[in-house]
Amino acid sequence: MPIKVLGNDGAGYLSDIIAGIDWCITNKMDIINLSLGSSVPSTALQQEVDKAYNQGILVVAAAGNDGTSDGSTDTVDYPAKYSSVIAVAAIDSNNKRPSFSSTGNNVEVAAPGVSVLSTYLNNKYVSMSGTSMSAPFVTGDLALLKQANPGLSPNQLRAKLK
């Protein structure tokens, strides 16, 4: 179920993101994909993703596009940096990390994130790159894992994903 929390320009308010997560909690969603991020931490956002996770909802987020060419710096964005969130980095078609993909200890998995063909505004398809393209792959994998293993906890599903 798509829950729009950002504008068409990809920008938005933290309060709208938190309200979107709260809607997912209230409506008992199984998994939340957050193809968004910020370099600025937020106690309110952390509390909300923690609340979702503690109520059995898997939370997946884009790690960020702030990587360095050598990948030696922790550049993971929030909310992906929070422990209750599965941080997803990008890889290319050769299974290599593109230089833009954020890195750090919080990254749990990587998924395709370079030249991904995706739906776009006005009934178009566009090739895009970024960890916001990667996170939905992982969200889909988790949905399939949950469907096949409905009794597993979020921690068990995370372990299966890895």
Name the DSSP letter for residue 112: E
Token pair 């990948």 is found at: 71
As a whole number of angstroms, the distance between CA 9 and CA 151 comes to 39
Does the pLDDT of residue 1 top 90, yes or no? no
Burial class (CB in 10 A: 0-12, 13-18, 19+), 27: exposed
Q: Where are the alpha helices (DSSP H) in 29-87?
A: 43-54
Question: For residue 10, what pLDDT is reported?
Answer: 86
Nearest to 143 by CA among 40, 26, 31: 31
Strands of the sheet with 107-112, listed across from one edge: 31-34, 58-62, 85-91, 107-112
Question: Which pair of tokens denotes residue 120?
Answer: 């776009």
Q: 121 or 83: whose pLDDT is higher?
A: 83
Does the pLDDT of residue 120 top 90, yes or no? no
In this prediction, residue 8 has a pLDDT band, given cuts at 50, 70 and 90, of confident
For each of the domains in the chain, give its residue range(s) and CATH number, in order of start: 14-161 (3.40.50.200)
